[in-house]
Structure 1
């Protein structure tokens, strides 16, 4: 079997030193569309957007944690684990969970510890849960779980894992916004450290079963969190405590994301769809926890 679950889970954690600067934060924010304002006709940059782009007043969106210091292992990193021998074209990012222990600083040096937290058997596929725990001299900063979906590698009789499906929200959303995705968004976002050719190379995308390159799931993840922070949290990035999503579908560069938000006690439930494809689901089972 290409995935040896016992061997993969028994592997020693890997520890790396990571660092990031304000330039890395600014690049990430540009990669998820900061600086653009689809709600204004003026070509001038909305002053509120400058908090994501000017080093003198830089606010760090917590989802930057997924790329800080070249990010968590992610899809490609998961294939380098002991006991894992699968083709990259069979792998997709299935979901993401981020716990924020302290606000992410605009520059920093920290230690990242990576390990395989779980392997689940979904019958027709396997799911690898890659966990990264990051701490600096003052203590824990964040914990990041990437769920990696490997097609055709299930069926060995292992644990199916927990169900993270949420009940559909009731009533009309409290806010709905639309965010256009630039045609070159994936080419810009990949400069944050995710070099998977699925997001840039048309031939590889066809090999993986797509008509053309798709946007990084974590780019959609960041676009969505920014929309929630900007519209329901008063632009205060420090209020975010946790953020979980399931990647239910893909986004193609050039499309428009429709982001629906429902307020709950201490959280916002979110659903994201692709406008041009009859609201095809993109992110589901999505919760932003906040103070």
Structure 2
């Protein structure tokens, strides 16, 4: 069987050095729409946007962790012992991130990546790939990617938790809209995700889409920035944890509608595409904050 769950779970973490600088952070921020905030009269020079784009004022949005070191933690997990799957059968189902302290604008760290869980969903297997990142001062962040592997279920393993959240029984406390630039995917992919699904129309058609789609992790970053900017006063250091489920696709050139429900220390989020009858894009999404 392509997935040997026992072997994958027993394998020791794979360790790799990663490094990043202010250019990597600035490129990531531009890739998720920094400097183009529609709530600002002149976003390119607005002080609230310059914290994402100007090296002398740079603050790091925590979702940068998903691309630091070109996102090698996920790829390392897919090549772990016991894992031999067709990448065409892999779907990114969800992403979670826990921050241990603010991410510096430049740094060097070690990422220890492993398969944390393998679940049996019947027609698919779910791999939970965990990456613990530390530098010389201690833990920085822990991230987990939940990957569906179609056709690899039915091996008799545990189904695992559902992770579904009940919808709040009240209207959103806030709703913001974020436009997606027509070239957003082309810019975002420069941070390390070179999947042609997000750039090549012919490849996208082979995958069943009319045209290239936006990276799920780009939507993930756009959404966190919207929460930080509208709920947390632009203070990236207040974010403690962030998780989501990828419920649908977003397309370059359309709009993301971000609905926010606020409770102390927690924001629940739903993201939809209004041009497609509010089709779901992100669901079961929560930002925990100080």
Q: Indicate the TM-score class for this superposition, using the shorter chain for normalisation.
A: over 0.9
Q: CA deviation at 1:155?
A: 1.4
Aligned mates of 1:230, 1:188 — CA distance in 2: 21
* Residue in 2 that maps onto 1:31: 31
Give yes or no for contact 1:78–1:148 (8 Å, CA) kept in 2: no
Aligned mates of 2:117, 2:287 — CA distance in 1: 23
Q: CA deviation at 1:33?
A: 0.4
User: 1:24-51 CA distances to partner (integer Å, 9 max, x unpaired)?
Assistant: 1000000000000223455754331111
* Residue in 2 that maps onto 1:182: 181
Q: CA deviation at 1:8?
A: 1.7
User: 1:107-127 CA distances to partner (integer Å, 9 max, x unpaired)?
Assistant: 111111010101111111111
Q: CA deviation at 1:72?
A: 4.4
Aligned mates of 1:271, 1:43 — CA distance in 2: 25
Give yes or no for contact 1:272–1:284 (8 Å, CA) kept in 2: yes
Q: CA deviation at 1:70?
A: 1.4
More divergent stretch after superposition (199-208 vs 255-264): 199-208
Aligned mates of 1:81, 1:43 — CA distance in 2: 43
SS in 2 for 1:135: strand
Aligned mates of 1:25, 1:43 — CA distance in 2: 18
1:8-27 to structure 2, matched below 5 A, reads: 8-27=8-27
User: 1:45-92 CA distances to partner (integer Å, 9 max, x unpaired)?
Assistant: 433111101111101101011111212433x54432222222222111
Question: Does structure 1 residue 148 correspond to structure 2 residue 142?
Answer: no
Aligned mates of 1:85, 1:205 — CA distance in 2: 24
Aligned mates of 1:42, 1:63 — CA distance in 2: 25
* Residue in 2 that maps onto 1:253: 252
* TM-score normalised to structure 2 length: 0.96
Give yes or no for contact 1:89–1:207 (8 Å, CA) kept in 2: no
* TM-score normalised to structure 1 length: 0.96
Point out where structure 2 has 5 or more consecutive residues left out of the alignment: none
Q: CA deviation at 1:145?
A: 0.3
Number of aligned pairs? 290
